[in-house]
Amino acid sequence: MARDGTSRFRVPAMPIYEYVAATPGDPEHSCRICARGFELRRPVDRAPLLVCPMCKHPVKKLVSRINTPTVTKPLSVSAAKTAGFTVLQKRDQGVYEKL
């Protein structure tokens, strides 16, 4: 660990992927885990999983919902400045003035 408290090594991103059996209704081609679907953390640079780790039958990757923050109202100029943003106002064609 470095003196400033940060690690010298970069940790690879490990998103969570969702998988389900290619034929979830067929008990001969899926186990109870992949028939219901499962989540798996994998590095971004790895190829998608093709078979269930338990039963070795084909699986498909699902498109998951993402969590996006909802903004109920726009930020005020003072709130944006407090948050550390630089606030600019358009004065003319291609000319902005810092507030």
- pLDDT of 64 reads 74
46-59 mean pLDDT: 91
Q: State pTM to two decimals.
A: 0.53
Here the tokens at position 13 are 């991103």
Report d(CA 25, CA 9) in Å as an integer: 44
pLDDT at residue 44, as a whole number: 81
Q: Where are the domains of the chain?
A: 16-61
